[in-house]
Amino acid sequence: MSERLIYLPLGGAGEVGMNAYVYGYGPEGKERLIVVDLGVTFPDMDGSPGVDLIMADTAWLEANVNRIDAIFLTHGHEDHIGAMPHLWPKLRAPVFTRRFTAALVAIKMEEAGMASDMIRVVEPRPKAVDVGPFRVQFVPVSHSIPESSALIIDTPAGRIVHTGDFKLDGNPVVGEPFDPLEWHEIANEGAGIKVLCCDSTNVFTHNPGRSESTLVAPLRDFIASQKGMVVATTFASNVARLKTLAEAGRAAGRSVCLLGRAMRKMVQVAEEANVLKGFPGTIQPEDAVDVPRDSLMLIVTGSQGERRAATAQLSRGKYLGLSMKEGDTFLFSSKVIPGNERGVIRIMNAFSEMGVDVVDDRGGLYHVSGHANRPDLEAVHDLLRPQILIPMHGEHRHLREHAKIALSKGIATEVATNGTMLDLTGPAPKVVEYIETGRFYLDGTVLIGALDGVVRERIRMALNGHVLITVIIDEDDVPLGDAWVELMGLPERGKSGGDMMKIIEDELSAFLETAPEKIVRDDDKLDEALRRIARQVAMEEIGKKPEVTVVVSRLMAD
Ligand SMILES: [Zn+2]
């Protein structure tokens, strides 16, 4: 049987988040497999209330677990490593990544009570990892976290470049620059590049991306011109930005304090992993309280409005003895991720009510993206000249737009969303199979399938309220006493002005008095009849149909 090269995204293709990609090589159905990234995405109140984390459904990988040779992690963002503690135990393959990412993953595993000895630290190219039919090299790329890497995956069918998340930044402040010379070399070794699997996040942004270093002067000038306390937020993992902000604060003669556990930890890990050097001295929160406001700068977590993070806490009042007031400035050195706008705007308004000036990245002075914009993507296409381009890391519209660019350049392409298995052996990609994929929800401490119905039921209860009906049926199949009703999440009184609980109870009791024996004797029929009555009354009284639970207790004759 002939061998083939396959690609299968399980997450990240058709959405921004929960990245998980599979490559395989070998005889059909027996390909050896590697997994690239195991990330999470975050729930929202509309679609997944109460859920803690969302990640790719790995059922297909679990069914083929003996074929997995390794897991590679490109960088330390949550949408690339966040699922490790939850999914690794199902896959149990060795994990390869670079030093800083390894440190972040190890913390994650240990916090989840797991060992971290599955993690192997890899040095960048020319060092390589040989697993099964694959030879994999890590190539440094610039992004918004140190030590991001693209992967060069050499297979008997040709060379794949998996970009991971990247931007073209020759001076990223912290971490390694994007090196066009090295990429030129990579493109020209052997038979060149067969497949480019490429970040699509910013395909709709038409201006060239800007370097992290372009923020240094504007941030320094901005902070120097402020009178009261300055508070700035950004992603904790954007170590370069933390450094730029802290240096700008120090240059303005301010004491700098990092607020938020994630942020202090990130700086510590980056220093230990040797990717961060020369971070300015900072003071502890308990000492910050005594510093005059015009000499203090806080750098805080919670740029996305996360409820428990420092930004949200400050917007509600005192946090660790610190609070904001009129004349202070709050700077969002960050972009709001789609979906988080409402929470962030609520916080901005809360600050505004305190008389705090809120400044965001508008105009691009105080924030740059970590992803390559359209002209940069095109530059990479031209530099690498792949035979096939597979857009990844993007919503459907991003993937499709990226594929259009490829076609316009005569590069074979295919929009492959989660679950689409491509055969990449030939000169053009072929869809060979659709794998049943979905999402896992981490709900509290339990992994459930997104389609298991748990969250659907939770949403229905949240939207419609809940009625609990209890009836007791005696040994002779005769209702004992009246039905008993409890309401949850529903108004007490409706249109008639009467007590709705009482009205439902009366209707149920009236029904039970005359109910035919064949209904009373049958659990399902009784359940259905009582449910219908409760919903009918609620519809008349309050104009909506609640969820109903019927509990029938039957007394047994000895
Ligand atoms: Zn990233």
* Cα of 450 from ligand 1 centre, angstroms: 24
CATH 3.40.50.10710 intervals, the chain: 212-359
* Cα of 324 from ligand 1 centre, angstroms: 31
Partners of 297 in the β-ladder: 230, 256
Position 280 confidence tier, pLDDT thresholds 50, 70, 90: very high
The percent of residues in the chain predicted with pLDDT above 70, rounded, is 99
Residue 20: strand, helix, or coil: strand
CATH domain 465-554 topology: Ubiquitin-like (UB roll) (3.10.20)
* Cα of 484 from ligand 1 centre, angstroms: 54
* Cα of 203 from ligand 1 centre, angstroms: 15
Q: In this structure, what is the dihedral angle of CA atoms 72, 74, 78, 81, given to the nearest 10 degrees? A: 10
Residues measured by CB to lie within 5 Å of ligand 1, the ion: 77, 165
* Cα of 273 from ligand 1 centre, angstroms: 18
* Cα of 255 from ligand 1 centre, angstroms: 30
* Cα of 89 from ligand 1 centre, angstroms: 23
Which has the closest alpha carbon to 199: 36, 367, 333, 85?
Answer: 36
* Cα of 260 from ligand 1 centre, angstroms: 21
- The answer to whether 238 touches 332, Cβ cutoff 8 Å, is no
* Cα of 144 from ligand 1 centre, angstroms: 7
* Cα of 369 from ligand 1 centre, angstroms: 10
Judged against a pLDDT cut of 70, whether residue 16 lies above it is answered with yes
* Cα of 75 from ligand 1 centre, angstroms: 7
Nearest-angstrom CA–CA distance, 434 and 558: 57
Q: Average pLDDT of 270-282?
A: 95
CATH 3.60.15.10 intervals, the chain: 3-207+369-449
Position 481 confidence tier, pLDDT thresholds 50, 70, 90: confident
Strand 193-199 and strand 388-392: pairing?
A: parallel
Q: In the structure encoding, which two tokens stand for residue 311, read together?
A: 């930004």
CATH label, 212-359, candidates 3.40.50.970, 3.40.50.10710, 1.20.20.10, 3.40.50.620: 3.40.50.10710
Nearest-angstrom CA–CA distance, 436 and 420: 9
Judged against a pLDDT cut of 70, whether residue 239 lies above it is answered with yes
Position 339 confidence tier, pLDDT thresholds 50, 70, 90: confident
* Cα of 384 from ligand 1 centre, angstroms: 21
Contacts of 367 (CB under 8 A, 6+ apart): 215, 234, 332, 333, 334, 335, 361
| Predicted confidence (pLDDT) per residue in 28-85, tens digit | 999 999 999 999 999 988 889 999 999 999 999 999 999 999 999 999 999 999 999 9
* Cα of 143 from ligand 1 centre, angstroms: 7
Nearest-angstrom CA–CA distance, 410 and 200: 18
* Cα of 189 from ligand 1 centre, angstroms: 27
Q: Chain-centre distance of CA 83, in angstroms?
A: 10
Residue 194: strand, helix, or coil: strand
Nearest-angstrom CA–CA distance, 356 and 350: 9
**Exposure of 449 by Cβ count < 10 A (0-12 exposed, 13-18 middle, 19+ buried)?**
middle
Judged against a pLDDT cut of 90, whether residue 288 lies above it is answered with yes
* Cα of 13 from ligand 1 centre, angstroms: 14
CATH 3.10.20.580 intervals, the chain: 465-554
What's residue 1's pLDDT? 65
Partners of 6 in the β-ladder: 24, 423
What's residue 35's pLDDT? 98
Which has the closest alpha carbon to 298: 365, 347, 250, 229?
Answer: 229
Task: Give this prediction's pTM.
Answer: 0.92
* Cα of 492 from ligand 1 centre, angstroms: 49
What's residue 549's pLDDT? 96
- Distance separating the N- and C-terminal Cα atoms of the chain: 69
Partners of 423 in the β-ladder: 6, 430
| Predicted confidence (pLDDT) per residue in 20-40, tens digit | 999 999 999 999 999 999 999
What's residue 476's pLDDT? 87
* Cα of 322 from ligand 1 centre, angstroms: 32
What's residue 338's pLDDT? 83
As a whole number, the mean pLDDT across the chain is 95
* Cα of 81 from ligand 1 centre, angstroms: 10
Q: Does domain 3-207+369-449 have CATH number 3.60.15.10?
A: yes
What's residue 364's pLDDT? 82
What's residue 337's pLDDT? 87
Judged against a pLDDT cut of 80, whether residue 219 lies above it is answered with yes
What's residue 119's pLDDT? 98
What does the H/E/C string look like for 374-430? HHHHHHHHHHHCCCEEEEECEEHHHHHHHHHHHHHCCCEECCCCCCEEEECCCCCCE
* Cα of 370 from ligand 1 centre, angstroms: 7
**Widest Cα–Cα separation across the chain:** 88
Name the helix (H) or strand (E) containing 456: helix 454-464
| Predicted confidence (pLDDT) per residue in 343-397, tens digit | 999 999 999 999 999 999 777 889 999 999 999 999 999 999 999 999 999 999 9
Position 558 confidence tier, pLDDT thresholds 50, 70, 90: low
* Cα of 371 from ligand 1 centre, angstroms: 8
- The answer to whether 439 touches 57, Cβ cutoff 8 Å, is yes
Nearest-angstrom CA–CA distance, 548 and 555: 23
* Cα of 16 from ligand 1 centre, angstroms: 10
Q: Average pLDDT of 98-117?
A: 96
Nearest-angstrom CA–CA distance, 283 and 295: 12
